Amino acid sequence: MVVNVRRSRLTYGVGVLNRFVHGVHPPAKLVVKDGIEWCADVLDAFVLADQSVGQGDVVVRSYTPAKSGQTRSIIHVYCSERDDVRFITDPGVVRCGTLVLDLSQQDAPGRREIQARMVFGETEIKVSALDVATHKCVRADIDFLNH
């Protein structure tokens, strides 16, 4: 059995809101939505630059939309040559893809779960976002060679 493993040239992740932690997160990143303090522009890394990645490796993360009643979720995919990026606004972080997931179906539960998935291939990453309640899914491919 042959296993294709390579090192990721870049860090890949998505931009998210995390709960704001005073003394940890920069005050400039504080955003308040529905009375909850969030840290904006956080890069949730799926793979780090120089990390070993096998062909077909899958990384899945679950998220909840920041506001109840959102009609769509926009997930931006970012990349960077650095492995220590914390925010999508850090130097050298570039947007390399976007997924837009329709959340308008009204019979879905109030707290939605969105699963973001990256599947690593030889020269590309297959990125998808799934609304767990409705099974709606959107996909995109990101070419390693161009980013």
Q: What is the pTM of this model?
A: 0.87
Find where tokens 């400039």 sit. Answer: 28
Number of domains into which the chain is organized:
1
pLDDT in tens, 100-116: 888 877 665 567 889 99
Query: Domain containing 23 — which CATH number?
Result: 2.60.34.10
Share of the chain above pLDDT 70, in %: 90
Domain coverage including residue 70: 5-146
Give the CA distances from residue 126 to residues 32, 67, 121, 140, 142, in Å, rounded to whole numbers and listed in that order: 33, 27, 8, 6, 6
| pLDDT higher than 80, residue 80 | yes
Residue 51 phi, psi (nearest 5):
-80, 140
Cα–Cα nearest to 79, from 129, 18, 9: 9
3-class SS string, 5-22? EEECCCEEEEEEEEECCC
